[in-house]
Amino acid sequence: MILTASSVSDLPAIASEIISFAANARIFLFYGDMGAGKTTLIKSLCRVLGSRDNITSPTFAIVNEYEATAGKIHHFDFYRLKNQTEALDIGCEEYFYSGNYCFIEWPEKIPDMLPDHFISIHIAVLNDNSRKITLDKF
């Protein structure tokens, strides 16, 4: 599925489409260049799932946890990992198989640890405001 966001105001509707597309999937992998809008889209997804928490990038914490009406949400940012062992050290596999929503930025940093089933979200910058969002289900 391919979606286009012409502005940030499109994201709530796009987030709803993504959750609908995902059905029962709980693992979401976010790919895109730095500044493409991964965290911004995750904020909209968290809102759609009923979170009122302050959604921020866990760049230094590696993982943030949010409460939502749909259950717990774990938001990972693996950008700063030096190796996959660091992800193991925080217990990421326990999070991945918890049944909770997991939003994972920079999953390419942990290729050997990814679950078998997930939603892949690729964000491509079209211009300053527009993004092409490509969804695949694995």
Q: What is the pLDDT of residue 68?
A: 96
Give the pLDDT score at 58.
85
Could you give the 3-state DSSP secondary structure of residue 19?
helix
Q: d(Cα 31, Cα 48) in Å, to the nearest integer? A: 20
| Mean pLDDT of all residues belonging to the chain | 94
- Residue-range domain boundaries for the chain: 2-137
Confidence of residue 57 (pLDDT cuts 50, 70, 90): confident
pLDDT value, residue 102: 97
Q: Choose the weakest-confidence range: 20-29, 59-68, 117-126.
A: 59-68
Report the alpha-carbon angle 96-90-74, nearest 5: 45
Q: Give pLDDT tens digits for 69-127.
A: 999 999 999 999 999 999 999 899 999 999 999 999 999 999 999 999 999 999 999 98
Annotation: CATH topology of 2-137: Rossmann fold (3.40.50)
What are the pLDDT digits (tens) for 119-130?
A: 999 999 998 889
pLDDT for the residue numbered 59: 80
Residue 16 — very low, low, confident or very high, per pLDDT cuts 50/70/90? very high
Inform me whether the pLDDT recorded for 44 exceeds 90: yes
Would you say 106 and 115 are in contact if contact means Cβ atoms under 8 Å apart?
Answer: no
Gap between the Cα atoms of 10 and 44, Å rounded: 10
pLDDT value of residue 13: 96
Length of the chain: 138
Q: 128 CB contacts (<8 Å, ≥6 apart)?
A: none
Other CB atoms within 10 Å distance of the CB of residue 137: 12
The pLDDT assigned to 128 comes to 84
